[in-house]
Amino acid sequence: MYRSFMMIIFILLPIYSWCATSTVATNLYPANLNGLKSQFQTAMKSFSDVASIHYSLAGIKELGIQPPDTYCNDIKKLVDKTNIESIYHATEAAKTLTNCNLPVEDYRSKISSTIQSDKSTTAEIYYAVRSSINLGLNIDESLIEKRLNTLAKTDDSILSQGYALLTGAQLSPAIAKYYADTINDLVQQADEIDGRILQYEGGISTTGLIFNAFYEVAEKAGTSIKIDPKQLLKFANYFSTKRHVATLRSAYYLTKAFKYISDNKNSMPIVVTRVSSSEVNTQNPSILVSVTNLFGQPVGEMIVTAESAKRNEDGVVVISKQKLTSKSSDFTVYELPFYDKKIPRGFYTIHLTLTPQTDGKFIGLTDHTIDVKVTSEVTLENVELNIVDRDNAAQMKTYKLTYPNGLSNNLEMDYHQKLIIKFQIKDKQTDEFIRVQQAFLRFTNKQSNKEIIYLAEATSGSNPQYKVEVDLTTNANDFRHQSDAYELVLLVGDALLQKAFSWKLTDNIQLSFHDDNVPDIDHLNIYSAKPEIIHQFREAEKRPPAIVSLVFSGLTLLPLLILLISWLKLGFNLSGLPLGLSPLGFHISHGAAFALMYFYWKYLDMFQTMRYLALVSIPLFLFGHRVLAILAARREKKV
For 134-154, the pLDDT digits (tens) are 999 999 999 999 999 999 999
For 473-492, the pLDDT digits (tens) are 999 999 989 999 999 999 99
Second-level CATH architecture of 378-523? Distorted Sandwich (2.70)
Average pLDDT, the chain: 88
For 23-53, the pLDDT digits (tens) are 444 433 434 778 899 999 999 998 889 999 9
At 3 the pLDDT is 40
| Bridge-based pairing state of the strands 368-374 and 279-280 | parallel
- Mean pLDDT score, 269-286: 91
For 582-621, the pLDDT digits (tens) are 888 888 998 999 899 889 988 889 999 999 999 999 999 9
With bands split at pLDDT 50, 70 and 90, how would you rate the model's confidence at 524? low
Second-level CATH architecture of 33-266? Alpha/alpha barrel (1.50)
For 207-261, the pLDDT digits (tens) are 999 999 999 999 999 998 889 999 999 999 999 888 889 999 999 999 999 999 9
Phi, psi (degrees; rounded to nearest 5) at 113: -65, -35
The closest alpha carbon to 386, from 374, 372, 370, 400, belongs to 400
pLDDT at residue 177 tops 50: yes
CB distance 173 to 167 below 8 Å: no
Lowest-pLDDT range, 18-32, 489-503, 514-528, 602-616?
18-32
Gyration radius of the chain's alpha carbons: 43
SS3 13: helix
For 116-137, the pLDDT digits (tens) are 999 999 999 999 999 999 999 9
Q: Which sequence spans correspond to the domains of the chain? A: 33-266, 271-374, 378-523, 578-634
Distance CA 92, CA 113 (A): 20
| Bridge-based pairing state of the strands 378-389 and 457-458 | unpaired
pTM of the complete model beyond 0.85: no
Residue 50 neighbours by CB under 8 Å, 6+ apart? 75, 78, 79, 80, 86, 89, 90, 93
pLDDT at residue 8 tops 90: no
Instruction: Tell whether the torsion through CA atoms of 351, 355, 358 and 362 is positive or negative.
Output: positive
pLDDT at residue 6 tops 80: no
CATH number of 271-374: 2.60.40
- Mean pLDDT score, 342-370: 90
Distance CA 475, CA 320 (A): 54
First to last CA, the chain: 101
pLDDT at residue 431 tops 80: yes
Distance CA 308, CA 310 (A): 6
Percent of the chain scoring above 90 in pLDDT: 61
Q: How far lies 218's CA from each of 179, 239, 440, in Å?
A: 8, 20, 65
With bands split at pLDDT 50, 70 and 90, how would you rate the model's confidence at 459? very high
At 86 the pLDDT is 95
